[in-house]
Structure 1
């Protein structure tokens, strides 16, 4: 959908229920159940399963405060994005809105940076999945497993958007069921209500019995924030997918309204279970991983392999979504003239084939670089894309500040989702994001990530400004 058209003219096209083809040529092949599960699963990445142990070791029980702070930031960002997406669903989501509110250079810059972030994620997740699969079938080399998962998920994305939706529905379903079961069983064991459990059932005692709730000091909360913020990436995917759904506005509204309980249950709830089952400084949390250690404490056999299956599902889900997200952003950029026009072409099934292949090609290249030049070229790619999601969240804040006025002037009846305490909470959220970015500069583990990400962002923004100026000059009589 072209965001340059008047909002009043957009009504009744992609946003009407039952529309088989959206105005931009993409097929509305995602059902409401697909969108619901994409929204739920979008906040559950592999980083939650494999990254929480480091945060617990760094901050102790206070890591719950870190998760709560980052979770609140994500809730606010999603509320802003939901306001814009519900009023004007678009396959380019925040990139298209940034173009309209801040200028074409902004849409160009954040769109390409976001594409870059997800094609690097393709390589990371393909390699992570290959490591698990090689452990199960060592006769097949790791690179072959990485190639296999990339080929399979590329095929599903090329087939149709409904194929992506169906795969993601089941991938996300496994994650949701697994974490839901973990929270319920874990809490029962923590309070001594689970029959046959090996856990002593200490209730909430472990939150304070090993040095208090802030055993590493209150400052460790910030350290925890910097460690867990990356596990929340991907929450915004549902707003891109909504453009190919049967009823985009309803899907976006539902996803935006449910983000609070999703983060509360899946992040805060699951980490709380770990901290109630084990003291935060139990060596097994770091040695085995927080979730495996928690399952072992209950006495569940083969906990490690069970968690490997769940992590593999999370990895495949993230890889599937990364390919979908990168291709749709490339498609939107092509449609708006900020990428080759071939990217905006769709197949008879409404699939942007060229945009998918372009994203896959870079993904395959990144996988190769991960094996051939892991400590040089690939490390640069990884670090230079690491803070992009924070840039995206910041741009969403700045865009919403401008878009609210545009939407209220042109079609106020379509602003069905509204950011709370506008504009004060929007400014406060932008300030929180900037605070995290500045804090990362003073953190040795994250300094290089921020500096390289800023460098790449500066190059892309410069290109966007030059192209924008060139277009305006050419348009003058």
Structure 2
């Protein structure tokens, strides 16, 4: 291992585009959409649209902040720079933990999906094989990570486009199912209306939606490894609404046009049912392959994101310096080792036949809650940035639309999500677990800073910097008033 200090700018536009798409399409869509449809009915269209819209504005806030200062390597850097050392510590370690938990959920799910083809294969073998493969590819170079994500995302995109095309063809040709139900647009409101379970159905559906969208912000961890970040980050973010409309809203709309929402099973992938309607041989196997590739993609992103978080934390003196060292391939090897080891060990413990899907639901909810915390901190950073850097915001080449209003609307939306999570016993467990993480993290930070001269200097420098920035901001506002 060489003591390199800079990550390789090895991600091209093609890879960034597909990684951004991959971040928008997860296992929650392929497997979880059936459950969400059963809870919300056609109202799932509204839930996906609302969640996607809110997260688009969160990504725009993140994008403006990253482009504002190209020295930022991720949203952890601007959290620390704008909100202070403690914010950088909490955001960085929480994001690391969120991806550890998310990757554990996906690896655990992969163990279950593998049983579809090999029912007698021990779950630990499929979990071990997946982690070893991803671990090896992440060690090689960021280009290897980017290539794997590119092709895994291609698989997901082809599957979704295929489903949408098939559904539209069935609807336009007047297809009638074996149960005698015709595929038609009116199926969206002919079975109890557009919101068959009312507001409670929307709230219950919201619980299962957040995890499906988690990972969208991963493009904000790639600043240091993008070839042309000032161009590539905005390009990737601008296309998020179209991806959500096509891949989420388009998919569930077509599903419910072909098959009434109350006939879609909650415990199976609705993709299987769609392809099976036309007698596609091996429909279940095809969908299982797609879902496994989607889970593998998320796990791959988890190993990538956790190692980059540790690298950034080490650069800011919030993690041991060894995590800031790079290999000859310019990858943060020690972080990859640690993340892979934790993901593997925990996945092996959870990969039992009796508890595998229950474990997936629990850890998935915990991860979703931490992602909400991350998105909230991005918005708070943006609000403080607008107040402290009015001149930089005025000159920004990638302004967040409706920047005065949407941060508050988004924060209110996350409040509604947290309320929705209290309505289910399963998600309540996660809500009880989460404070333990923050209390433990706060204790570590207190012990870390109590006798650390370096940390005391960081805090002192931050306070002095804020005073200078506030003074400059006030001078700029006074200048505007005079003109």
Please confirm whether the aligned pair reaches a TM-score higher than 0.5, indicating the same fold: yes
What displacement does 1:88 show? Answer: 2.8
Taking a change above 3 Å as real, the CA distance of residues 192 and 396 of structure 1, as seen in their structure-2 partners, is same
Residue 417 of structure 1 aligns to a residue in which SS?
Answer: coil
What displacement does 1:357 show? Answer: 0.8
How far apart in 1 are the matches of 2:95 and 2:433? 15
Taking the TM superposition and a 5 Å limit, the aligned residue runs for 1:9-408 are: 24-89=5-70, 92-138=73-119, 140-192=121-173, 201-282=182-263, 284-286=264-266, 288-371=268-351, 384-408=366-390
What displacement does 1:291 show? Answer: 1.6
What displacement does 1:459 show? Answer: 2.7
2:406 pairs with 1:425:
yes
What displacement does 1:301 show? Answer: 2.7
What displacement does 1:117 show? Answer: 1.4
Residue 209 of structure 1 aligns to a residue in which SS?
Answer: coil
Which region of structure 1 is more displaced relative to structure 2, 63-72 or 292-301? 292-301
1:6 aligned partner: none
How far apart in 2 are the matches of 1:101 and 1:26? 23
What displacement does 1:338 show? Answer: 0.3
Determine if contact 1:199/1:277 at 8 Å carries over to the other structure.
no
2:438 aligned partner: 457
**Residue ranges of structure 1 left out of the alignment (5+ in a row):** 1-22
How far apart in 2 are the matches of 1:198 and 1:337? 63
What displacement does 1:141 show? Answer: 2.2
How far apart in 1 are the matches of 2:361 and 2:235? 38
What displacement does 1:131 show? Answer: 2.4
In the superposition, the TM-score normalised over structure 1's length comes to 0.88
How far apart in 2 are the matches of 1:276 and 1:378? 30
How far apart in 2 are the matches of 1:276 and 1:229? 24
Taking a change above 3 Å as real, the CA distance of residues 53 and 445 of structure 1, as seen in their structure-2 partners, is same
Which region of structure 1 is more displaced relative to structure 2, 374-383 or 143-152? 374-383
Taking a change above 3 Å as real, the CA distance of residues 263 and 257 of structure 1, as seen in their structure-2 partners, is same
Taking a change above 3 Å as real, the CA distance of residues 421 and 253 of structure 1, as seen in their structure-2 partners, is same
Per-residue CA distance 1:308-334 (angstroms, 9 max, x = gap): 011011011111111101111111111
Residue 219 of structure 1 aligns to a residue in which SS?
Answer: helix
How far apart in 2 are the matches of 1:65 and 1:474? 48
Residue 6 of structure 2 aligns to a residue in which SS?
Answer: coil
What displacement does 1:412 show? Answer: 5.9
What displacement does 1:87 show? Answer: 2.4
In the superposition, the TM-score normalised over structure 2's length comes to 0.86
How far apart in 2 are the matches of 1:334 and 1:107? 11
Taking a change above 3 Å as real, the CA distance of residues 407 and 355 of structure 1, as seen in their structure-2 partners, is farther
**Aligned residues, how many?**
453
Taking a change above 3 Å as real, the CA distance of residues 460 and 73 of structure 1, as seen in their structure-2 partners, is same
Taking a change above 3 Å as real, the CA distance of residues 92 and 362 of structure 1, as seen in their structure-2 partners, is farther
Determine if contact 1:189/1:199 at 8 Å carries over to the other structure.
no
Taking a change above 3 Å as real, the CA distance of residues 345 and 432 of structure 1, as seen in their structure-2 partners, is same
What displacement does 1:246 show? Answer: 0.7
Determine if contact 1:386/1:450 at 8 Å carries over to the other structure.
no
How far apart in 1 are the matches of 2:374 and 2:438? 11
What's the Cα RMSD here? 2.8
What displacement does 1:198 show? Answer: 10
Which region of structure 1 is more displaced relative to structure 2, 107-116 or 219-228? 219-228
Determine if contact 1:441/1:451 at 8 Å carries over to the other structure.
no
**Residue ranges of structure 2 left out of the alignment (5+ in a row):** 462-483
How far apart in 2 are the matches of 1:462 and 1:385? 21
1:5 aligned partner: none
How far apart in 2 are the matches of 1:447 and 1:171? 33
Taking a change above 3 Å as real, the CA distance of residues 260 and 380 of structure 1, as seen in their structure-2 partners, is closer
Which region of structure 1 is more displaced relative to structure 2, 308-317 or 221-230? 221-230
2:471 aligned partner: none
How far apart in 1 are the matches of 2:41 and 2:165? 22
How far apart in 2 are the matches of 1:99 and 1:218? 38
Per-residue CA distance 1:352-386 (angstroms, 9 max, x = gap): 11111111121122123314796999998666544
Residue 42 of structure 1 aligns to a residue in which SS?
Answer: helix
